[in-house]
Structure formats: structure tokens, C-alpha cells
Amino acid sequence: MKPIIAIVGRANVGKSTLFNRMVRMSVDRTKSTAITESIPGVTRDRNYVETEWDRKKFIVIDTGGFYAEEISHGDKEILRQVREQAMFAIEEADLIIHLLDAKEGLMPSDIELADILRKSGKKILWVVNKIDTQSKEDRLLEFYRIGAEEIIPVSAVTGYGFDELMDKAIALIPKDMETKPSEDEIPRVAVVGRPNVGKSTLINSLLGKKRLIVSHIPGTTRDSIDSICSYYGKRYLLIDTAGIRKKGKIYSQKIDIEKFSIVRAIRSIERADVAIIVLDASEGVVEQDQKIAGIVEDYGKGVIFLLNKWDIIREPEIYYKEIIQELKNKIWFMDYAPCITTSGLEKKRITKIFPIIDEIIAERQKRIPTADLNKFLSKIIAVKPFPPYKGRELKFFYITQVGIKPPTFTIFVNYPSGVKAHHIRYIEKALRQEYSFKGTPIRIYVKSR
């Protein structure tokens, strides 16, 4: 698993600007990139990104804003939001960046938040934003009242002090938490989904025993729990997604579990070979389901959609057509994923999962010979020639498979800029028609020869 850095602070201190700079400036620009397209409302608007600095990979998360204590309207709700965000940082992060505002100075809510974060025992960097020259660093003095031994000046807009901040951050976070070697021998299956869709009930049914706490209260799973399941002599590692912890005085406020469940899913998904996305069939496909599916796609994992609680569906034959169409409309970017209906509570059709897992893992490891791929490419271009680029012929020289898990391809052309996102989608669709790749994303990169 990769370490998590969370950026917290009041509203308008520059958290999103710093987040964007960390993502934009810390990526390895020597790597070729896939042609992608923004998908509004899925995960491309997410507030987390996997990135790297100095060859160390991590996940950076931008949290919501905290409001000043002196605001009189809705004090209780504001304080609840403050504690929700603090809990998020405390629960999820390996390192917390507490961002402060040099122009507004130290506020009471900054001190309150600092106290909450300090009690967490997590590693914290105290960073003052909006300082873009050395002459303005005298503004740091008042922030030492927060109780920090070191205050780091930075300008998220201009980049002043950014390299120093990133070097300090990387020195404090743990190295990538690698998967245990023993786990590599068996398929790793993450069971993910919104709170209270039946993830723990499903795993308990698969295991044949009550391994996990099951409750109607969302978020009762307290930690990521690994369980070994055996099906016809073959073992599988099932990873249940953790909920949000509630303990101690810091966690006394009611929290919005829906808001933070996605971040917990990241940890499970990145460890997995295949993700089972559990949907509540009685509620249909909601935005949170779209976001979780987008994470699985981003991480290049295999996927199965599981429509749970099918036992309470009236007229299932009619409803099945409706919800499958809804799934295609809302999570269209995963039209390659198989979907099954089940009831974790009544243990109906749950064992159908295992043969599909095996099939998807085989598809993720499939390799296509370069000669076959080039025959395929010539065939689809002959059927549908690509348009010229700036008046010049767009030539496809050859295609080769460069990786697996997920299957990854590189196409060499004379003008990479001439290959658009819809061209890639056309090639991907044709690849799937020819070679299946059931249940797994594929990656297609374009390079000049």
C-alpha cells in the first residue's frame, strides 16, 4: 500500500492550490501517458491522486475547508464539520500537512484544529501558505504560537518553498507498504462498495462463518480485514473495506461516513487483483458507486459488479433489465465488467463469483503476440481509416503489448497528437471484440517512432 498525505486547514488557505501543485509538479514526466478524457461526475473530479516525488509514490488528499470559530450562524454544524475533517485526516493519513494562511494570520480555529491533530499522534508538517519571498518570512513568527517546533513557508501559487516542503514530507512518510509475499500466491479480491450495501454479510456467507461484524449501522467494519476463503480446494484472499473508526473524545461527533468511505476503499483496491463492487440492488446505481468504480478503473484492477440484496427485489426479471441499463448508462466506462445478482444474506448465487474471478485473472495476464496485434491493427484501420492530422496522413506503424495486469499496449504513429481519445476508444472496443479482456481495464499508449 502507498502512504497517504492529507492536506487540512481552514477554507481559502490554499489547500486545493497546493494539492494541484503536488500532483502537477511531482509526477514523473519521463513516462508516456495514456490518452484520457475527463469524465465529469465519476472520479476525475476526485480530491485524491496517486503521485510521486523523488521516485517515492504516495497518495495525496485534499480535504474540505474548516470555518472560523467566530462565525455565529450554525456553530454546531460548523464544529461538526471541523471534527469530521479532522477525523478524516487522523484516520487515513500517514502524514498531515496543516496549511495556514500568512495573509489572514493565526486564527482560533487553526489552534483548535492543531490541538486535534496533535492528539492523533500522527506526523504533522505545519505549513504557512502565501509567502512568496524570503522578505515575507517574518510573518511566520506568530504561527509558532500553535506549538510547532518548525514552520515551513510556501507559496502554493508560485512554488516558493515547494521543493523544500516536498523533501521534508517524503522524509517523514513510510516507504511503500509492499504486499506480503505470501499473499502473492493466491488471488487477492477486494470487496468494496458504499456503507451498508452488504459487504460484510457477503464475506461471512462466502466464509461460512461470522468472521466480520454485521450491523444495519453503516461503517461497523473497523479495519481492513483479510480472510482466506477456500472454494473447491483453491484459496482466495478476501479483503473487506474498513469503515470509519469511532473512539475517544475526538470522535464523539456523528460523521458523514458516505463522504469518507471512498478513501478507505483506496487502500483495499490498490492491494487487490480483482475488486467486487457491491451495489444495493434495491437502491440502484448512485454517485458513490460511480466514484468507487472509477477508482478501480484508475488502479487498473479487474472488476465484478455484484447486485446484492436481490432477495427483496419484486419482479426481478423486469427490474434486472432496468438496472443493467442504468449500470451501462452511469458506469459506461466499465462496460467490460461482468455483473451478477446475489443475496449475501440468503447465500444465493454467491459461489458464482469464484469462476468469474479466475476468468478475470487469466484475462489480466493474457499476452497477444505482436504479429497478431499488427494484423489486427491493419484490419481495423482498413475498415475505418483515421482522418488526416493537419492535412497530413496519420500513419500507424505498429502495435505491441508492453505489459499485463492490466493488459497494456503501445501504438507507434507518426503524429501522436493526431490520435484523439475517441480513436483510442475505437481501438479498445475492437481489441475487446477480438481478444475479450473480460472484466479488466486495458491501457493504450501512443508514441512517435
Which residues make up each annotated binding site?
9-16, 62-66, 129-132, 193-200, 240-244, 308-311
- Give the 3-state secondary structure of residue 182: helix
Torsion angle defined by CA atoms of residues 21, 24, 28 and 33, in that order, rounded to the nearest 10 degrees: 170
Query: Could you give the C-alpha distances from 301 to 32, 73, 297, 314, 441, in angstroms and in order?
Result: 20, 45, 6, 33, 7
Round to whole Å and give the CA distance between 249 and 162.
Answer: 35
Q: What does the alpha-carbon distance between residue 246 and residue 251 come to, in Å, rounded to a whole number? A: 5
Q: Which residues are annotated as a binding site for GTP?
A: 9-16, 62-66, 129-132, 193-200, 240-244, 308-311
- Burial class from Cβ neighbours inside 10 Å (0-12, 13-18, 19+) for residue 161 reads buried
Give the C-alpha separation, 122 to 38, whole Å. 34
Residue 447 CA to residue 449 CA, distance in Å, equals 6
Q: How far is CA 280 from CA 75, 224, 284, 303, 351, in A?
A: 35, 21, 6, 16, 18
Asked whether the bond before 406 is cis by omega within 30 degrees of 0, the reply is yes
Q: Cα 215 to the chain's mean position, in Å?
A: 26
